[in-house]
Chain A
Amino acid sequence: MRDRSLFQRMFEPPSLTEMAPASRLLTYAILILWAIVVLFPLYWVFITSFKLPFQVNDGPDFIPFVDYQPSGHAWRYIFVELGNDTLRPYMNSVIIALTSTVLAVTIGSLAAYALVRIQYNVKIGTVAGFIVLLTATVFAITRFGTPWHITAVIALALFFFFATSFGRHFKRSLGNNDILFWIISNRILPPVVAVLPIYLMFQRVGLLDTHVAMIATYMAVNLPIVVWLMRDFFAGIPIDLEESAEIDGASRIRIFATIVLPLARPGLAATFLLVLILAWNEYLLALFISTADAQTMPLLVAAQNATRGPQWWYMSVLIVIMIAPIILMTILLQKHIARGLMVGAVKG
């Protein structure tokens, strides 16, 4: 081996798989810097939750016990004095996020699986007929104030009549990819466009500010993500396995439950967690649909902008208790998530 000058030793990699000391140093410096950027805000929130108001107001204190004496007053206030006012939104969040996620993953997985394995042919005529009737229904209800249930029933009847009579004469049809694309493209729809009518809809049926309304809405907005992610996991399962089970006498549902789902478990875990996070953190829809009884944590946190000026110590407690469980879960499942996102992105 030839002699290398100090410069070369610093800046030239010693071998193909190793890095030069200088670039290694730079790499670590940047990565650690970003780690600080990520962690410091969280640290700041965490220590602020143990500060007294005057400690916050008197300027930056960085290290507990050194710069200031931590106090649990904010935690006591949030959990003891507010008590139910904190716990109720928290429970709401837990119930709504979990239920809507379970439903979205279940329904979305079914659809994703079916779209991967079963051939569909939807006649364009049927779709067009449906849209025309839906528009007419909406128009009739809103413009002429016909009672909505009667209009809906008439429209449905017309639709089935149409689908079973003229509908079949239209040759052009939509295949699986068209359906899939349609489902996924629903995600482009900005929630603010959909939420006004959803608000009115729930108001009509008296479900505003209930768990049911929140769960249904969250499930609907997250459905496209589930279909999109799960489709690739299902497509990755060798079809031989399913065909073998089919020959051996298993029904579709049985195949799905005993062969496909167990094999798609990593994908399910990733999708579940991702959707759970989205539902847990959701803000806009909650803003419209829940006002008091079904209020979720993001609303509670956002509402802390009290008249006496922001009370950082209380907010910090709320933020900490909101993100702690999710971060814990994520760290436990992060390998799955990375892989899940990867699959979706690579094949998407």
Chain B
Amino acid sequence: MRVQLKDIRKSYGSLEVVKGLNLDIAEGEFLVLLGESGCGKSTALRMIAGLETITQGSLMIGDRDVTEVLPKYRNVAMVFQSYALYPHMTVAENIGYPLKLQKKPKDELKKAVLAAAAKVHLEDYLERMPRQLSGGQRQRVALARAMVRTPSVFLMDEPLSNLDAKLRGVMRAELKRLQAELGVTTVYVTHDQIEAMTLAHRVAVMDAGVLQQVAPPKEIYDNPATRFVARFIGSPAMNIVTGSVADGTVAVRDGSVPLERFAPRERVSFGFRPEDCNLVAPEDGMLKARIFSTEMTGNETIVTCAIGEDHVVVRMDKDFDMEADELVGIDVNPEKARLFDYDSGERVHA
């Protein structure tokens, strides 16, 4: 179902942790709330679930205003970071618990539990206790419990962050398939940008309680709306150098980059991704720099260069071999470079 958050705010006493969240999540959409730890993602999700009261604003699920509705009447399902499996119940009882609360007949309940368990490949573990399962299996039980009653919205709060890296990759793929299969609107909270980029139809980036940008992953990567988003998405992060715009060029310390169509500005944050620039001979480069360190990762070399106090990261191929402290020049692809207002951090368009 469609979920709409209209200027939702949350305060604990005088501390506002969610500051005016506006989101319109389409039916069947997989929306990922992405942000640093402590930025208010969980709080936002918990407000959708009804676990936290909404201080201000309104929340719609489908065409129902549920701002003041108790969690149990919202028909949402939530997967917790800790999985929240009931330790004293078997896997089958855990999965069937939501249906038991709805007083479903026994045989119907059994069928539904089996079906849900089958979706996450847990048919053989139904009689086990949660403590007898591995982390990945527990995660699946939590998913099955969320799916068993076909809710109108799935809410997931960092469901994969307790798994080891390899398992996380596997579960990510499965989660994506399941969501597509079921077609249930999903709001997924994470601080892991890879998860966000791979899973989401659209990513909503938050910072300090403020929504920064909502867009499909590619759009977020290519056209970050703010400097924060630009720095947050991508690894290594986008390079940001402070400079000024005048006469169709961006002048930074030790060089300039031709950028037409931009109005002159005193101070800007000039950003470009490590793959959108290149190292050349010192005298040919747009910017002059000194190599600070190089890291060979196997398929490429991450070169960190120093321009004055600033560090700029350049992606080079794996055969790159220069030593620290050598002088180099950096060429930037002007097409891919982005400008942000120095003070507000907002994107400056041509």
Contact = CB atoms under 8 A, between A and B. Distances in A.
Chain A bound to chain B: yes
A238 interface: yes
B250 interface: no
A248 to B, nearest CB: 4
Interface residues of B, number: 22
Nearest to B72: A249
Given A240-B80, A240-B82, A244-B80, A249 B88 contact: no
Contacts of A243: 49, 51, 71, 78, 80, 84
B305 interface: no
A254 interface: yes
Given A244-B78, A244-B80, A245-B97, A250 B86 contact: no
A250 B101 contact: yes
A133 B42 CA distance: 46
B200 interface: no
A326 interface: no
B47 to A, nearest CB: 13
Contacts of B144: none
Nearest to A240: B84
A247 B82 contact: no
A247 B71 contact: yes
Interface string A261-289: 01100000000000000000000000000
Most chain A CB within a 10 A radius of its CB, from B72, B81, B102: B72
A58 to B, nearest CB: 60
A249 B73 CA distance: 7
A259 interface: yes
Contacts of B80: 240, 243-244
Contact of B51 (A246, A248, A259, A262): A246
B87 interface: yes
A247 B86 contact: no
A241 B50 contact: no
A241 B51 contact: no
Contact of B86 (A246, A251, A259): A259
Contacts of A254: 101
B50 A248 contact: no
A243 B86 CA distance: 11
B59 interface: no
Contacts of A259: 86
A263 B130 CA distance: 14
B101 A247 contact: no
Contacts of A245: 86, 97, 101
B257 to A, nearest CB: 50
A247 B49 contact: yes
A250 B73 CA distance: 10
B101 to A, nearest CB: 4
B20 interface: no
B110 to A, nearest CB: 18
Interface in A210-264: 238, 240-241, 243-251, 254, 259, 262-263
A236 to B, nearest CB: 13
Given A243-B51, A244-B78, A245-B97, A250 B84 contact: no
A249 B101 contact: yes
A247 B97 contact: no
Interface string B67-95: 00001101011101110101110000000
B72 A250 contact: yes
Contacts of B72: 246-251
A237 to B, nearest CB: 10
B127 to A, nearest CB: 18
A185 B294 CA distance: 66
Nearest to B97: A248
B285 interface: no
Contacts of A240: 80-82, 84
Contact of A238 (B74, B84, B149): B84
Given A243-B51, A250-B72, A250-B101, A238 B82 contact: yes
Contacts of A262: 88
A337 B102 CA distance: 38
Contacts of A251: 72
A240 B81 CA distance: 9
B169 interface: no
B98 interface: yes
Contacts of B50: 247
A240 to B, nearest CB: 4
Contacts of B81: 240
A243 B74 CA distance: 13
A6 B89 CA distance: 59
Given A247-B51, A247-B76, A248-B77, A241 B84 contact: yes
B84 A249 contact: no
Interface of A: 238, 240-241, 243-251, 254, 259, 262-263
Interface of B: 49-51, 71-72, 74, 76-78, 80-82, 84, 86-88, 97-98, 101-102, 145, 149
List 7 A-B pairs, minimum CB-CB distance, nearest first: A240-B84, A248-B98, A244-B84, A249-B72, A249-B101, A262-B88, A240-B80
15 contacts: A238-B82, A238-B84, A241-B84, A243-B51, A245-B86, A246-B51, A247-B51, A247-B74, A248-B97, A248-B101, A248-B145, A249-B98, A249-B101, A249-B102, A262-B88
Given A243-B49, A246-B51, 10 more contacts: A241-B86, A247-B51, A247-B71, A247-B72, A247-B78, A248-B145, A248-B149, A249-B98, A250-B101, A263-B88
